């Protein structure tokens, strides 16, 4: 599912609510009958992989960040890295998977941090993936890596929700929604999307930012 919308339309707020990082002001978000907010994000068994718009890596190694600082085998960590196409790059680092992400001699770029964050979201093969602007700051190779990851996740049956302000993932989506005035409006049916590489994307360009009615609604999308 692709959820599109301009900046400040509330995409990141929605992503945090879906991931259980933020609580909704009313109602409950459930996954498999369980309230998302009750699931522990520290466990890969929670069933949710979340990539925030701004990726923060915690002090520690690349492997620890991918494994969410939990118990994990090297095979599990490498599997997550391979799924986003960064295994060879990590192996080329001075310490490989044991490279400290805060090493001043080899600082991580924003693109590198984003791809490590994506591997962190992929760790444990969660059945639900929520990706907020996954291609932000990436070049063409990075975008291809993200698209390949989304395609593979879809192939294995994972539910993937991509929130974005660009048309980069619309052609891959079974359903596409646009956020407008706090509501999600479906653009087209799946069979219509299959006929066009970028269906009616021009309709999104005329949609201005949603009115700011509360601090949360005005958060960066």
Global pTM?
0.78
Report the domain count for the chain: 1
3-state secondary structure of 219: coil
Q: What is the largest CA-CA distance in the chain?
A: 51
Q: Per-residue pLDDT for 87 more than 90?
A: yes
Termini Cα distance of the chain = 17
Position 94 scores a pLDDT of 86
Q: Which of 106-110, 118-122, 202-206 has the highest mean pLDDT?
A: 118-122
The whole domain housing 14 covers 2-218
Q: What is the CATH number of the domain that holds 39?
A: 3.40.50.300
- pLDDT tens for 159-192 read 999 998 888 888 899 999 998 877 888 876 545 5
């Amino acid at each position: 599912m692709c959820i599109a919308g301009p900046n400040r339309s509330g995409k990141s707020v929605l992503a945090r609510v879906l991931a259980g990082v933020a609580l909704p002001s009313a109602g409950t978000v459930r996954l498999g009958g369980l309230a998302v907010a009750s699931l522990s994000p520290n466990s890969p068994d929670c069933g949710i992989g979340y990539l925030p718009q701004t990726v923060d890596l915690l002090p520690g190694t690349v492997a620890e960040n991918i494994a969410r600082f939990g118990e994990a085998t090297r095979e599990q960590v490498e599997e997550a890295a391979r799924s986003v196409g960064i295994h060879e790059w990590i192996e080329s680092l001075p310490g490989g998977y044991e490279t400290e992400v805060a090493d001043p001699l080899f600082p991580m770029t924003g693109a590198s941090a984003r791809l490590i964050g994506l591997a962190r979201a992929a760790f444990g093969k969660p059945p639900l993936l929520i990706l907020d602007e996954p291609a932000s700051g990436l070049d063409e190779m990075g975008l291809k890596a993200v698209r390949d990851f989304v395609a593979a996740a879809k192939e294995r049956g994972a539910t993937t929700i991509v929130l974005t302000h660009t048309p980069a993932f619309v052609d891959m989506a079974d359903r596409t929604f646009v956020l407008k005035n706090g509501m999600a409006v479906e653009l087209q049916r799946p069979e219509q999307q299959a006929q066009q590489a970028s269906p009616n994307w021009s309709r999104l360009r005329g949609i201005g930012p949603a009115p700011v009615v509360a601090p949360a609604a005005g958060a960066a999308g």
